[in-house]
Amino acid sequence: MSKQPILEIKNLHAGVENKKILKGFSLTINAGEVHALMGLNGSGKSTLAAILAGRDGYEVTEGTVNYLGKDLLELDPEERAREGVFLAFQYPVEIPGVNSTYFLKAALNEIRKHHGFQELDAIEFLNLVKDKIKLLDLNEDLLKRSVNEGFSGGEKKRAEIFQMAVLEPKLAILDETDSGLDIDALKVVSSGVNKLKRPDSAQLVITHYQRLLNYIIPDFVHVMADGRIVKSGGKELALELEANGYEAILKG
């Protein structure tokens, strides 16, 4: 069976005014795969995630990004989301006064509308949510609160994964979802992510720590330095990285 590519990034060069950040980044992710992206602070991981999600303020000077046969860079951020791109933020923002459940329902219904499905009403939505809450062992009270407002660092990360569970993206990008999680939360979040794994979707997991990869088993591990991937391998590459550090890999 030939693999269906979900995301194909070719020779991507991008940056902000006066600063090049991505310098020839290439990566192909196929359906059903989990890719881990590792790399030093400041190597450009979050920038890549932001560009994929469509944040304003970055300039792409070279290269292409193909997502399910479409030019991803041509789409507005909300269109990307409706087409199935999901970014779990490294630092999720707070939106005071906007109820979490209401927010998520609005988001899901935008995606459903886009695909020609009927919008869910409050009852249908709550039923759906109940299942996902169990899946992620989430504290239900969080859903009664405003979006991320006053959430602890760990709660914010969990809430991101919960959103992902509800929105069921085709391509999920997790930007350091493991940072700031205690070991129990890490297990819950990663088992959630594993359960969400489907043959027709893919995940790009950005992390600094091999320990996450004990729970989320990646098919591929990539090491990023100075705006591009410098080494790729299987999950053993993460172990090697942990044992020998970046220096050794970058030299080798």
Q: Please report, as residue ranges, which positions from 38 to 97 form the binding site for Mg ion (by CB under 5 A).
A: 45-46
Minimum Å gap between C-beta 152 and ligand ATP is 20
Question: Which listed option, Mg ion, ligand ATP, another protein, none, makes contact with residue 66 (CB within 5 to 8 Å by class)?
Answer: none
Question: Which listed option, another protein, ligand ATP, Mg ion, none, makes contact with residue 43 (CB within 5 to 8 Å by class)?
Answer: ligand ATP
CA–CA distance, 150 with 169 (Å, rounded to integer): 26
What would the DSSP string read from start to end of 60-97?
EEEEEEEETTEEGGGS-HHHHHHTTEEEE-SSPPPEEE
Minimum Å gap between C-beta 139 and another protein is 13
Residue closer to another protein (CB basis): 59 or 242: 59
| CB neighbour class for 122 (10 Å; exposed up to 12, middle 13-18, buried from 19) | exposed
CA angle 228, 234, 229 (to 5 degrees): 5
Query: Does residue 42 belong to the site contacting ligand ATP (CB under 6 A)?
Result: yes
Query: Does residue 45 belong to the site contacting ligand ATP (CB under 6 A)?
Result: yes
Residue length, the chain?
252
Kind plus residue range of the DSSP H or E element containing 118: none
Query: Does residue 100 belong to the site contacting Mg ion (CB under 5 A)?
Result: no
Query: Does residue 148 belong to the site contacting Mg ion (CB under 5 A)?
Result: no
Binding site for Mg ion (CB under 5 A): 45-46
